[in-house]
Every structure is written in structure tokens, then in C-alpha cells.
Amino acid sequence: MGEIADAMLDGTVCQECGVFIEEPPANGIPRHCTDCRRASRGKGKRMKKTRLTWAEFSQAVATAGRGLNARHCAEHHWQIQGGDWLVNCWPNSNRGFVMQKDGEQSRVGSLREAIDLASPPKAKPATETVAPPWEETRDRPVGLIRRLWRWIW
């Protein structure tokens, strides 16, 4: 082996970046410098995933109050039915909560997003009738083009 490889193996230099470590070598054990140690902190630690159960899923869909119902297709494949769209859900996949609106590509999201995808759009509140732009109103005078059009005819 070369000198650098030997120095990395005995702990004289950092095993990742090759920087000289000023502290005395620790009995021939490969080591990291402080920068590499700081950068690697937190790597390798997996976040604890929360698993969604069928009971929680079906209860959340039922309490949405939009006429939706949950369907258990397979062990890790559930559906939300009854709305404008059929939404397939894979709640415990490696990527997290995966959902697919009927006819679209699957994507990662949340249960609330899946319920919103499946449910019919919320009714818009009634608005006042608005006069067409060509009619004159108190707050909006008839525009120049409309006046020209009247003058031409």
C-alpha cells in the first residue's frame, strides 16, 4: 500500500478527507477529523416512521363528512371512494404515505391530502350579480372602446 493509505489506517490522517490529525494516533485505529465528524453527525440515523393502521385510516375517511368511504383492497393497499375521484393509498410504503388519484402518477403526501383529492369540491359561496362590462354603472364608466363602438354604429 501507499504511504497515505497506511497513514489513514493507523489514524495519522483522516480516513475521509486525508487531513493530518494533530492528536496522537489511537493505536492504529482509523479516525475522522473534526470537520468530517461534524458533517457525518446525524447520518445513518433513521427517522422513526409512524405507521398508519386500517382503523385510523377508515375512521379519518368516515369523519371527513363528505360522503366518502374507505375500502381495504390488500394488506397495504387502501382506497378512498365516494367522491369525484377514486384515490389509491399505500400508507406504509418505504417512501411514506403514497397516494394516486385515478389516472395520475403516484406521489407522496398525507392522509388529509388524499381525502381532499377524493372529495367533491367545496361549494363556493353565492356572490352578487355583476353587471357586464359594457353596461354603464355608477362606479364604472363605459370605456373608450365601447363609446367608439356606439359612435360608429
pLDDT confidence band for 85 (50 / 70 / 90): confident
Domain boundaries, the chain: 3-40, 54-118
Residue 153 and residue 139: Cα distance in Å, rounded? 26
Dihedral sign (CA 36, 37, 42, 46):
positive
By CB neighbour count within 10 A (0-12 exposed, 13-18 middle, 19+ buried), where does 15 fall? middle
Instruction: Please say if the pLDDT value at position 123 is more than 50.
Output: yes
Band of pLDDT at residue 47, cut at 50, 70 and 90? very low
User: Distance between CA atoms of 104 and 81, rounded to whole angstroms?
Assistant: 16
Tell the residue number behind the cell numbers 497515505, with chain if given.
4
pLDDT at residue 3 is higher than 60: yes
- Is pLDDT of 149 > 80? no
Q: How far is CA 120 from the centre of its chain?
A: 22
Query: How high is the pLDDT of residue 17?
Result: 80
pLDDT at 40: 67
- What distance in Å separates the CA atoms of residue 19 and residue 7, rounded to the nearest whole number? 10
**What is residue 145's predicted lDDT score, i.e. its pLDDT?**
65
Mean pLDDT computed over every residue of the chain: 76
Query: Which pLDDT score, from 0 to 100, does residue 52 have?
Result: 82
What is the distance between the alpha carbons of residues 73 and 24, in angstroms, rounded to a whole number? 62
